[in-house]
A and B are shown apart, each in its own frame.
Chain A
Amino acid sequence: MDYDFNFAAVWRNFDLLLSGLGLGLVLALVSIAIGCVIGLFTAFGMLSKHRLLRWAAHGYVSAIRNTPILVLILFTFFALPQLGLRLGKIESFIVTLAVYSGAYLTEVFRSGLVALPPGLREAGLTIGLTELGTKVRITIPIMFRNVLPALGNNFISLFKDTSLAAAIAVPELTFHARKINVETFRVIETWLVASLMYVFACAIIAALLRRVERHLAIPG
């Protein structure tokens, strides 16, 4: 194999790659924030007394989890305008990723809620909180702390999924890497640097999340 490594072209465009990485992180953060809200509501829907709500929640989770995310991204961006819902590519991607993560987070929150001892809710009601007050002030905060590791894993895999935004030309890391690849033909260098950027970003996020987990852990 004759291949002379030359990273100059990649370094020249390194700020583009970095800005792409930053955009990917922002996309993942905004999406998971919206996804958390969706997931929380759907998790309560799954545990609801009403059969219809349970069915709707199960249907949503199972439909999203069994559909490839690329199909969802293309559907939101190319198909929804036919129904008159025209979104910009970044908005469209965030909507897709939020709905997508919502389905995965539903499972996370549902198992978190089920795992809570029933005494928590009873104690909340006993001291005079309403059903809603008990949820907002007691069960949800405790559940959040318990599911933090699972939430973190979801965030990391969501961050990796932002690479798919390149498919609808959102200028994130993979998009720029492809462009540099095509423009300079420094193939190995480009993809090596791009994947290492993802790997290190994931490792740093994981380390940060572990710190947060330790900080928020319920003592005892």
Chain B
Amino acid sequence: MEIAQALEVIWAARWALLAGLGNTILISVLSILMGTALGLVVGLILTYGNPVLRFVVRLYSDFLRGTPVFVLILACFYILSVVDIQLSAYEAGIFALTLFCSSHVGEIVLGALKAIPKGQTEAAKSVGLTFFGTFFSVLLPQALRMILPTWVTTATEIVKASTLLSVIGVVELLLGVQQVIARTFLSLELYFFAGFVFFLLNFAIEKAGRFVERKVAIPS
């Protein structure tokens, strides 16, 4: 029976596949964290920066969002080595995903900060809060709640995009699975398996996001 055989193959390769899954998770977590930090800066500049800075960052964001992630990954992988920045495929991939994530988070932050009614800032000012006080105790808590659902979607986007690193030779889950396929020729069962694992991963992220959203929602 093919399925029993496939399960046997998967079980035999469990450590390699788990290592691949570990890499997928590590790549995603690092890219999301660094991308979010950079994205917050991008969003803040797009909202409050002076016109010159805003223009530069707008170009950065539009360029990154207009380029397919796959092209971004290939470009980072090949270009960085030419300009004497020696990064492994692994690091170059994380770098590309971080850039991709930062542009998306930047737009989300910009959208959220713009969506907060002006009255909030005015009220904060009239009770005597400074710019930082206004930002951290009034605007940010509201913006973060607005950002959360889209941010979770971006996180699943990154997990899915991490599979593209297989093309530049990073052994994450997909390439791990492909290596097993190369030995066993069970492409149907194993690609299905890979898809299923990614589905579970993203499904879990989505559910966790919903849970946090409910927890932090402002009671009405």
Contact = CB atoms under 8 A, between A and B. Distances in A.
A187 B82 CA distance: 7
B86 to A, nearest CB: 13
A178 B71 CA distance: 9
A70 interface: yes
A199 B163 CA distance: 23
A63 interface: yes
Interface in A40-73: 62-63, 65-72
Contacts of A200: 66
Contact of A69 (B78, B160, B178): B160
Contact of B70 (A72, A74, A163, A187): A163
A199 B62 contact: yes
Contacts of B166: 70
Contact of B83 (A1, A181, A199): A1
Interface stretch (B36-44, B47-55, B117-125, B195-203): B195-203
Interface stretch (A76-84, A108-116, A141-149): A76-84
Contact of A174 (B68, B82, B163): B68
B67 A199 contact: yes
Given A66-B199, A199-B63, A74 B71 contact: no
Contacts, number: 113
Most buried by B among A79, A167, A198: A79
A45 to B, nearest CB: 20
A36 interface: no
Contacts of B156: 66
Interface in A153-195: 160-164, 166-167, 174, 177-178, 181, 187-188, 191-192, 194-195
Interface residues of B, number: 40
A199 B66 contact: yes
A118 B72 CA distance: 45
> Interface range on chain A: under 10, 10 to 19, 20 to 34, or 35 or more?
35 or more
A187 B191 CA distance: 32
A29 interface: no
A191 B76 CA distance: 9
19 contacts: A3-B82, A3-B83, A66-B198, A66-B202, A67-B202, A68-B159, A68-B161, A68-B174, A68-B195, A71-B174, A71-B191, A75-B192, A75-B195, A160-B68, A161-B68, A192-B75, A195-B63, A198-B66, A200-B66
Interface of B: 62-63, 66-72, 74-75, 78-79, 82-84, 156, 159-164, 166-167, 174, 178, 181, 187-188, 191-192, 194-195, 198-199, 201-203, 206
